[in-house]
Amino acid sequence: MKLLHFPFFFFLLIAKSVSAQTDAESAQKQMMDSIKNVYLTEAAIRNPLLRQVTISTDVISSSNIRSQLYGNDLFEGKLSQVRTKALLSIPLKSWGKNSLSASFSLFHQHFNLHDVKFIQPIANSFNERSVDKLTVGFTGSYTRVDSLFGRQIIYMGSLSGLTGRSSSIQKVSYLGGVILTLKQTPEKRVSVGLLLNLDPSIDIPVIPFYTYWRKYQNGMELNVNLPQEVSVRKSLSDRFWASFGTSISGSVAFFRYAEPGFPKDVNFSIVDLKTGPKIEYRFAEKLIFGLNAGLLTPIQARQFEVSEKANDYFLKNKINSTPFVNFSISVLPFL
């Protein structure tokens, strides 16, 4: 599930790699900061996860769901969802080749489960009803931009927490990574790297990744970020862009059950593939409106005890593909 956090840190580091903090005199520093802001703004236009503030809502239409409890069929029905996320990213401090930043998120999910038919006479929690869940998250990250054998290399580390309670943090994870730039020109960028994910809920802590960006003479841009995203993008004007691609998204929610046969504190984890077109319009100097629609395909939807690994799930859900639409308002870097 930490793949959900991966694209934010990855694109943040790539954006910051275009310029480094200088120790020159104050006037030169202001000039360099101004240049850096231009590069960061352009990078944030291409990569929404680099934007300083984002408010985004997914409206996911009703689809068939079939659930298994400990490997036995439990119920079938229909599920619709609305997910709204607010994300704030704040640069804290930069010195030399190093920088610190923090991000805070609020993630509200509305689950509407209806037309339920039980196969096992159990689980009053799954009667026809609507459920609202709020998940709060924070991340503190460290970045160092350096060189190795004449090539740019980026080191990163972060501490993240998630909770659905006001009294405690329910999930803590640590991320560490290294990104090596193999080639970088105004029209092409190639990088490889490794991400170490110390999360008690995952079984594979090391994730390799590869990024390839290319801008063609006709203005078309190819953006490959494996295993996260593949997309093509075209500028229709200075303020209007269109793209098409497939990306991994997902959600985390925390439940508490009282029924016998269910763990008490539960992590509900969903991983989706989103495929479809997207348009964005820069309607003010720092504000961008986005509209994305297409097909959402759940590839994993499991419930497991908070203290256990995702593969030790007790409830497995099979959710059919369904249309979705996403609306977003985002703010380009201003701090």
What is the average pLDDT value for the chain, to the nearest integer? 86
| Gyration radius from the chain CA atoms | 21
- For residue 30, what pLDDT is reported? 55
When mean pLDDT is compared across 12-21, 48-57, 126-135, the lowest value belongs to 12-21
- For residue 1, what pLDDT is reported? 42
- For residue 141, what pLDDT is reported? 96
At residue 16, the 3 state secondary structure works out as helix
pLDDT digits (tens, 9 = 90+) for 29-80: 555 555 566 678 888 888 887 899 999 999 999 999 999 989 999 889 999 9
Higher per-residue pLDDT: 18 or 130: 130
pLDDT digits (tens, 9 = 90+) for 263-275: 889 999 999 999 9
pLDDT digits (tens, 9 = 90+) for 4-15: 444 444 444 443
Q: What is the mean pLDDT of residues 184-206?
A: 88
Structure tokens at 251: 């959600």
- For residue 127, what pLDDT is reported? 59
pLDDT digits (tens, 9 = 90+) for 296-314: 999 999 999 988 888 899 9
Give me the percent of the chain exceeding a pLDDT of 90.
62
CA angle 89, 145, 286 (to 5 degrees): 35
- For the chain, the structural domain boundaries read 2-331
Q: What is the mean pLDDT of residues 168-191?
A: 93
d(CA 123, CA 84) in angstroms, rounded, equals 27
From the list 26, 25, 89, the residue with the least C-alpha distance to 330 is 89
Where is 27: in which H helix or E strand?
Answer: helix 26-46
Query: Please, which pLDDT band fits residue 199 given cuts at 50, 70 and 90?
Result: confident
Could you tell me which residues are beta bridge partners of residue 158? 141, 175
Query: Please, which pLDDT band fits residue 124 given cuts at 50, 70 and 90?
Result: low
Query: Please, which pLDDT band fits residue 125 given cuts at 50, 70 and 90?
Result: low
Q: What is the mean pLDDT of residues 313-330?
A: 95
First to last CA, the chain: 30
- For residue 20, what pLDDT is reported? 40
- For residue 26, what pLDDT is reported? 53
d(CA 61, CA 22) in angstroms, rounded, equals 50
Give me the percent of the chain exceeding a pLDDT of 70.
87
Q: What is the mean pLDDT of residues 243-272?
A: 89
Query: What's 3's DSSP letter?
Result: G
From the list 251, 319, 315, 320, the residue with the least C-alpha distance to 123 is 315
- For residue 201, what pLDDT is reported? 80
Is it true that the peptide bond before 263 is cis, omega within 30 degrees of 0? no
d(CA 211, CA 227) in angstroms, rounded, equals 9
pTM strictly above 0.75: yes
Higher per-residue pLDDT: 130 or 291: 291
- For residue 250, what pLDDT is reported? 83
Structure tokens at 255: 């439940």
